[in-house]
Amino acid sequence: MNKPFSLIVTLVTLLLHGTLVLAQSREEKMDSLWQVAHTQTDSLMKGEMLLRYAEYLNSGSTDEALAFTDSLARVYHKQRDTINEGRARSMKTWFLNFQSRYEEAIKEGHEVLEVQRHIGDTLGMASTLNRIGISYLYFERYDDAHAYLEKALDIFSRYRDTARMDMILNNLGVVCSQQANEEEAIQYYKRSLQLRLKLGDYYWIAFSYNNIGDSYKSMEELDSAQYYLLKSVEIFKTKTVHKTVPALVSVGISELYYLMEDYEEALPWGEKALREAAKINHTEVVLGARKILAEILFKMGRFEQAYLMNEAYQELQAESDSANNFARVAEIEARFKNAEKETEIARLQSETLQARNKAQKLWIIVLVTAVVGALIVFLIIFWYQRKLQRNALEQSELKARVSEIRMQALRSQMNPHFIFNCINTTQNFVLNSDKKAAYEYLAQFARLLRMVLENSGKSKVSLEDEMEQLRLYIELESIRFEGKFEYHIQLAPELESGVFEIPGMVLQPLVENAILHGLLNRKDDKGRLEIRLEKDKDLIHCEVTDNGVGRIEASRIKGRKTEHYQSTALPNIRERLDILQQETGQVLHLEVRDLVEGENALGTAVHLWLPYS
């Protein structure tokens, strides 16, 4: 069976981590990875390092890479480390593709996918979905391939994993190319190229140009194909660290010159590709090189060599086809889809049984309700009478508490530490003779103080003023901490287009907590603060999310410090919500959620529901 060369490009180029261009020699890089992996204490990070090591092995010998991933999987199985075991087996399915063992790759991939779905390894599932999708291309199951790749893209997009997103977009382009939809394929390749340009990895940028040129070649637009393919070669030779053109790209260049009837130029490119692919046992590239060389030699009148080359190609292709049975692959897919359906049926049956149990218990609840009904009515009447007597006293106490809470909120928002730190920051700008920065910083600080003082006596402030006040505070903290974090404030369209008022000075303490206790404890400058507001029925839902160290680690760090102030932000806000709830009769909430993946803290999310008018 003869497969288009775009499949070969995909199988060999789109490794998950993009690490096969060596900044050092292959052996030095492998030694470095091995040493780093064995110094890691985090099991998932160590697992990732060892899989990268396997990828370097694959760049030299797929047989060695397969043996290594098999050994890894066995070790993880003995240690009952199901996440790393699944990821090692998933990587094995990828390496099987290099040897054209697609049927085996699909079977292994589906088994791994079931395990990862059961244990909740979402990122591992995405990588496996991508690898199964690529394997399906060989069997021309394009709808299945597209579906698996779209699922993988959705997961990586939710995790904002740009490196893996560009890989999936490229693979979707390959699916379109396999279906002779080259124009759509080019659009996917160009979307992938834009992400790779942002990442600045010239190795993968060069492959994007190669893939675009390959599509133009399939469309027989040879001028455009030549432009993109030669641009790819130029980048490989001048801007990548290794300064060499990969074997599969050499096959594509050979095909281009063959179509242009420049056989003298096509021949050396094909021979170079065959030599390099044979060294590392990349079956698909060897097939592509032998096929084009047989056609070139025939056109050049070297018939005996063409015959021998074609015979070698046919033997290897037959060997590959014998290992991959279309009917068995269809059976594998059907079996795993049926397993998914059976799981869903079992879930529905469980829900039905639970519903029946609830119905059986309902009549008991009705009887109990009837027995205590009279007592409840009596108690309600008694309670109402007492409530009327307490109302007058509670109203006067409520007014006093509101005034006190307002002052507490003001002090919480503009605590002395923040004011003194802002003054010190301005002083540093002056001492460093940066008068412009000092002036701009002091101007923002003055505007923030003015807004706080103007709004401190108001029970409600406009949403626009509250957001401006919050933005000024974050900007000042961002400058003070030299860009240690970035932030984003997002208002739902319905809030941007209307005029709303909310209780003032509520969100700032939450943002302060996120910055001081979460983001500033990170060891890098990749902190991220996100603030989102949207309408939720008759309330406004506010969400403050950070990717800091999490509450547990923040408490541990705080305990090690000799001096620290006691944060009263959350108690003050909860007390204000109690008062607002009594005033409005609405149910208001404050929820703090820890963001985790496995045992790793990913930050904190605070959800707050406020009344508005």
Per the CB < 8 A criterion, the answer to whether 324 and 106 are in contact is: no
Buried b (16+ CB within 10 A) or exposed e, 370-388: eeeeeeeeeeeeeeeeeee
- Which residue in 156, 195, 149 sits closest to 175, CA to CA? 149
Q: Which of helix, strand or coil describes residue 339?
A: helix
Q: Burial, 466: exposed, middle or buried (Cβ in 10 Å; 0-12, 13-18, 19+)?
A: buried
Q: For 546-573, what is the HEC assignment?
A: ECCCCHHHHHHHHHHCCCCCCCCHHHHH
- What's the distance, Cα to Cα, between the start and end of the chain in Å? 69
Stretches where the chain sits below pLDDT 50 are 1-24, 327, 407, 410-413
Residues 334 and 168: their CA atoms lie apart, in Å, by: 24
Proportion of the chain in helix, strand, coil states, percent, rounded to 5:
75, 10, 20
Cα separations in angstroms, 197 against 52, 166, 190, 376: 23, 10, 10, 70
Helix (H) or strand (E) holding 174: helix 162-178
Q: Which residues pair with 15 in a beta bridge?
A: none
Residues 114 and 125: their CA atoms lie apart, in Å, by: 9
- Two tokens at 222? 């040879």
Which single residue is written with the structure tokens 């299945």?
A: 144
Helix (H) or strand (E) holding 478: helix 463-480
pTM above 0.85, yes or no: no
Residues 208 and 170: their CA atoms lie apart, in Å, by: 8
527-536 and 485-491 beta bridge pairing: parallel
| Residues 6+ away with beta carbon under 8 Å from 483 | 525
- Which residue in 303, 318, 310 sits closest to 289, CA to CA? 310
- Two tokens at 350? 């469980």
Buried b (16+ CB within 10 A) or exposed e, 475-487: bbbbbbbeebbeb
Q: What pLDDT was estimated at residue 361?
A: 74
Packing angle of the helix pair 463-480, 435-455 (nearest 10 deg): 150
Q: Burial, 366: exposed, middle or buried (Cβ in 10 Å; 0-12, 13-18, 19+)?
A: exposed
Packing angle of the helix pair 142-158, 122-138 (nearest 10 deg): 160
Q: What pLDDT was estimated at residue 585?
A: 82
Residues 499 and 501: their CA atoms lie apart, in Å, by: 7
Q: What pLDDT was estimated at residue 410?
A: 45
DSSP result, 115-167: HHHHHT-HHHHHHHHHHHHHHHHHTT-HHHHHHHHHHHHHHHHHTT-HHHHHH
Residues 219 and 512: their CA atoms lie apart, in Å, by: 57
Give the CB-side neighbour count of residue 208, counting CA atoms within 13 A. 23
Q: Burial, 231: exposed, middle or buried (Cβ in 10 Å; 0-12, 13-18, 19+)?
A: middle
Per the CB < 8 A criterion, the answer to whether 522 and 549 are in contact is: yes
Domains of the chain as residue ranges with CATH: 5-212 (1.25.40.10), 401-611 (3.30.565.10)
Buried b (16+ CB within 10 A) or exposed e, 310-322: bebbeebbeebee
- Two tokens at 602? 């990913």
Per the CB < 8 A criterion, the answer to whether 545 and 530 are in contact is: yes
- Two tokens at 252? 């594509």
- Two tokens at 468? 């401006």
Per the CB < 8 A criterion, the answer to whether 604 and 552 are in contact is: no
Q: What pLDDT was estimated at residue 16?
A: 34
Residues 261 and 299: their CA atoms lie apart, in Å, by: 9
Share of the chain above pLDDT 70, in %: 82
14: phi then psi, degrees, rounded to nearest 5: -95, 60
